[in-house]
Structure 1
């Protein structure tokens, strides 16, 4: 089994990366393979809404990194989407991925069906629920299964590493990783 974790932050190895890696620790303890993608390293242009991807399983435009990332999503059993909250929602990098991925999956029905999805947000103060909701809508509209935890899937912190001081949030991420592993084993 394999889980892809996608960090939608423009800041590499920041708080969003920390919380995704916290979930990875729990998955790795149970022998689940993980791969980490940082969108700070990947250019993804906005969707053109041309629908040329219909029946092709991926976007026809290949000059950016979207097609490679989406292929990894399709090949994974589980997907973790993580975003910081900059302005009351997901980052622009995450939004570009969700918009293009949403169109590709919509015109190629079933391509993500029954995969497991987890959405997490690194939050300074507010907007975390909106960000998690945005990512969960992507999962739910593609017939994916969404895992939850004991509380909202967000961890508070501003400066890099501050999320580690949010003990409740980090415990929630560990529990989320355990729940994700349990569900993956049941699905497979």
Structure 2
């Protein structure tokens, strides 16, 4: 018997408010499709900001800061789909989600892109302004991690001011519902592909770390060969334009 498909939502809000309400709504959509839906509320995760060490761009192993970020990353790797959800604060992405993107992305995910070919969805919650900008930032972050981003027609941006307003935005919730359904459609397609072929994903992943070979980072990766090349060949490859 195959395990049920699972979606993990990352809630970047500092409170149990409209963003949490939208994710609970999304969980109901997933449940009707027989898909597990779990939410990580970043406000409950012990998460330090990036410190003064400044070695993020030169280290070749995950971040040494000991907090809850590594555990959240591990849960993301185990999921079939991931929803990134955050409210607009100060015309930008809420600070908890911004911190998580920085810590998880640079400190853990960039080395071998473990989220490659996982299905991603993005939800932003805004009173009126900058919902599209936050949605776009989170979408680019998913693309950076080589995830498969599904569309919902209009972006899944929900408008709300006071607690409870999000559940009154019928159009926004329709887009969230469509997003979750399309994520599940893609997850099922990928699962069927795996069943038929035994391969983890239909899309070639290429090199594990796209930073290898960039002249700016040559010193960082001078001992790391390109896929299929001996170490001495990798060094000469870094010098190619």
- Partner in structure 1 of residue 109 of structure 2: 105
In 2, the alpha carbon distance for the partners of 1:186 and 1:31 equals 15
Counterpart position of 1:124: 127
User: Greater Rg, structure 1 or structure 2?
Assistant: 2
After superposition, what is the alpha-carbon deviation per residue over 1:52-105, rounded to whole angstroms, capped at 9, x for unaligned? Answer: 8734xx53321x221111111111111111101011121110001111121121
Whether 2:47 is the aligned partner of 1:44: answer yes
2:95 and 2:36 map into 1 onto residues whose CA distance is: 28
SS in structure 2 at match of 1:179: helix
Aligned match of 2:164: 161
Unpaired segments of 5 or more residues in structure 1?
A: none
User: Where in structure 2 are there 5+ consecutive unaligned residues?
Assistant: 192-241
Q: Distance in 2 between matches of 1:11 and 1:4?
A: 18
| TM-score (norm: length of structure 2) | 0.72
| Offset of residue 47 of structure 1 | 2.9
Bigger RCO of structures 1 and 2 (CA < 8 A, at least 6 apart): 1
Quote how far apart the aligned CAs of 1:144 are.
Answer: 0.5
The answer to whether residue 65 in structure 2 is matched with residue 61 in structure 1 is yes
Residue number in structure 1 paired with 2:177:
174
Output one character per residue of 1:30-50: Cα deviation in whole Å (capped at 9) or x when no partner: 111121111111132223453
Contact 1:3 1:33 in 2 (8 A): yes
User: Quick one: distance in 2 between partners of 1:92 and 1:169?
Assistant: 23
Per-residue Cα deviation, 1:138-163 (whole angstroms, up to 9, x for no partner): 11011101111121211001111101
Task: Find the aligned partners of 1:116 and 1:53 in 2 and give their Cα distance.
Answer: 28
* Secondary structure in structure 1 of the residue aligned to 2:37: strand
Cα distance between partner residues in 2 of 1:59 and 1:85: 28
